[in-house]
Amino acid sequence: MGKRVAIAPKLTIKAGERIALRDGVYLAGSGILSIGDRTSINAGCIITAIDSVSIGADVMLAPRVYVLDVDHRFDDRSKPISQQGYLVDPVVIEDEVWIGANSTITRGVRIGKGAIVGANSVVTKDVEPYSIVGGVPAKQIGERPK
């Protein structure tokens, strides 16, 4: 485990074997975070699980990836956003996924097995297995060879 890893006291972690948490990783929330075998979470990543975030086996999160199963509500103009509460929806990152540096994975997203998320992307919709996505918002830009 890297130096200066912060883990929220109410977060439940279900961890596989040979997981790497690099320097400055922040694990937050009060839900369940599942991490599969041989997964690497690089420096500066932030993962927030208010309900649940599931990260499969052999997953690579590059530096400064954000994974969040929560977002602020903002549908009532009569109240400040800070007083409207939250929307929560689980995130699932299946096995063998590679997420590029500085990417954000938003609530309710499922990233399919073997997919690649390009650096600096914002993933707001499900990603098909073995596809390559990138951009803001992320869109499919390719597919891994068979």
Positions marked catalytic: 72
Burial (CB < 10 A; 0-12, 13-18, 19+), residue 9, is exposed
Is the bond into 145 cis (omega within 30 degrees of 0)?
Answer: no
For residue 79, the one-letter residue type is: K
Helix (H, G, I), strand (E, B) or coil at 51: coil
In b/e form, how buried is each residue of 80-97, taking b as 16+ CB within 10 angstroms? eeeeeeeebebbbbbbbb
